A and B are shown apart, each in its own frame.
Chain A
Amino acid sequence: MEHQPPPFFNRGPAPLVRLMFFVVLALFLMVLDARFHYAEPLRAGLALLAYPIQRVALAPVQLASGVVDFFSSQVRLQRENEALREKQLRLARDLLTFEALAAENAHLRQLIGARERTPRKVTLAEILYAGRDPFSRKVIIDKGGRDEIEPGLPVVDDIGVIGQVTRVYPLLSEVTLITDKDHAIPVQVVRNGLRAVVYGAGDGTTLELGFMATNADILNGDELVTSGIDGIYPAGIPVARVARIERDAAYSFAKISCVPAAGPGRHTQVLVIGRDAKLPPAPEVRQARRTPAKGRRGRRRE
């Protein structure tokens, strides 16, 4: 008969066995999450579990900013007010012409039988915090599935595109920034209408204009705006400015670095832009995938 230790000394499985069990479980989860995207319900549950903790963590910060706001000097407020009034006057003039132009545009579009552009639903959201994962560029905003946020919606601030919603929880959603390595946006050069695709460079501060021939007509300082041909981003939102061009005859493509126009470091308020209702549904939802552009980029790097 095998000798059993008395229950007093019985501590369950050996530590190494336990470690192996949890390591294998973690590896299994990682594969499930990265390759097959089956772990989303578990992730949503865990995020809901962490939500109250996050709210508590945010409370002192929000309290501090509230106190700072309360004691902000009158002089500063007056100055800000003046600046805003000046800006409003300037914008009001533009707005007058804009309304006339919009009417004219709608009329012309009707004449040529083009589809009228519909205004999209816009949701104001606040950036709660930046994701702590050092391997990707993400921020978490305070609107989720409850506010009809969907994966794939573009997120902009008052200057330009910030990123795209990649994961939606009931109360929060996760925004992948345009500087993330796996993020791509179709853009257009304002100066000459040239279309291209901008990728995040992965270092967190710059973007890369991919697959442009060495003799492409792109100059330093060119403004890039969204082209709108993807049906996700509305056309004409500023994305980036070309900062550096390296044309090397040894490669078939020029290496073009751009600086993003907007960034999450400036403001905490962002706008989530809804879908264009008139577009037919996409054949397959692929926005929620972690690595949409990975395969192509991998080949290019080699």
Chain B
Amino acid sequence: MIDGRPQRIMLPVNVGFMALTTLLALLFNLLPWRDMSGLPDMLALVITFWCTHQPRKIGIGAAWILGLVMDAANGALLGQHAFAYSVLAFSAAQLSRRILWFGIWRQALHVVLLLLATQLLMLAVGMAAGGTFPGYGWFAASGIAALLWPVITFMLLLPQRRPEVVDVDRPL
């Protein structure tokens, strides 16, 4: 977050906002997409975001339950997303202090690796359960999701950026 640049002191996060954004990400994933190739897993991205920024407010358990809902809604093997998401939440929380130290694009580099690892876990589970190989294009989804990382960071930190006391006389 810093890179020699001054760091802004933020407001504490609102847990309701965290829950709302996670729900919205789940909603995005449940939209009726016709073509799934290269579609970013928005829920995984938001879980990564909150686990790096607020590792004490959201945990592995929440990620696990969200994964289970994803599995049930998509008719996937029950536990496939739950397994991958809980590992993702753990790694993101463990790496949070390291990741936040970097600038936004280098953070995205970390994120693409985390998401790729999640996809690899899902692939391992899916193939072990007798699934079809979805093709290499499926992995592009992680890259696209990582490109969205700066957008997500800007949007999800907006409520914490607003000033606590609104001064009408302030020029900015």
Interface residues of A (CB under 8 A from B): 11, 15-16, 18-19, 22-23, 25-30, 32-34, 39, 42-43, 46-47, 49-50, 53-54, 56-58, 61, 128-138, 140, 166-167, 174, 180-182, 202-204, 265, 290-291, 294
Contacts and interface: CB of A to CB of B under 8 A. Distances in A.
A47 B73 contact: yes
Nearest to B80: A30
A265 B60 CA distance: 37
Nearest to B76: A133
Contacts of A26: 64, 67, 79, 82-83, 86
Nearest to A180: B132
A46 B31 contact: no
A27 B27 CA distance: 26
Contacts of B80: 30, 133
B32 A58 contact: yes
A23 B86 contact: yes
Contacts of A137: 132
B30 interface: yes
6 nearest A-B pairs in the assembled complex, by CB-CB distance: A135-B131, A129-B32, A46-B72, A135-B126, A133-B76, A134-B134
Given A29-B78, A181-B131, A18 B32 contact: no
B30 A57 contact: yes
Contacts of B36: 130, 132, 134
B158 to A, nearest CB: 23
A135 B70 CA distance: 14
B70 A132 contact: yes
B73 A54 contact: yes
Contact size range, B: 35 or more
Q: Is the interface of B mostly helix, strand, loop or mixed?
A: helix
A131 B74 contact: yes
A231 B103 CA distance: 63
Interface stretch (B3-11, B87-95, B105-113, B162-170): B87-95
B152 interface: no
A135 B134 contact: yes
Contact of B74 (A19, A39, A132, A166): A132
A115 to B, nearest CB: 36
A22 B76 contact: no
A16 B36 CA distance: 33
A22 B75 contact: no
Contacts of B33: 129-130, 132
Interface of B: 23, 26-34, 36, 56, 59-61, 64, 67-80, 82-83, 86-87, 90, 93-94, 122, 125-127, 129-134, 138
Contacts of A181: 130-132
Contacts of B70: 132
Contact of A136 (B75, B86, B138): B75
A250 B26 CA distance: 50
B77 A34 contact: yes
Contacts of A18: 59-61, 90
Contact of A138 (B60, B75, B90, B93): B75
Contacts of B132: 135-137, 180-181, 202-204
B138 A134 contact: yes
Contacts of B30: 50, 53-54, 57, 129
Contacts of B82: 22, 25-26, 29
A28 B83 CA distance: 10
B32 A57 contact: yes
A169 B87 CA distance: 29
A180 B75 CA distance: 13
A39 B68 CA distance: 12
Given A16-B90, A22-B60, 19 more contacts: A25-B79, A26-B83, A27-B83, A29-B82, A30-B79, A43-B71, A43-B78, A46-B71, A50-B72, A53-B26, A57-B27, A132-B73, A133-B75, A133-B126, A134-B134, A137-B132, A138-B75, A167-B75, A202-B132
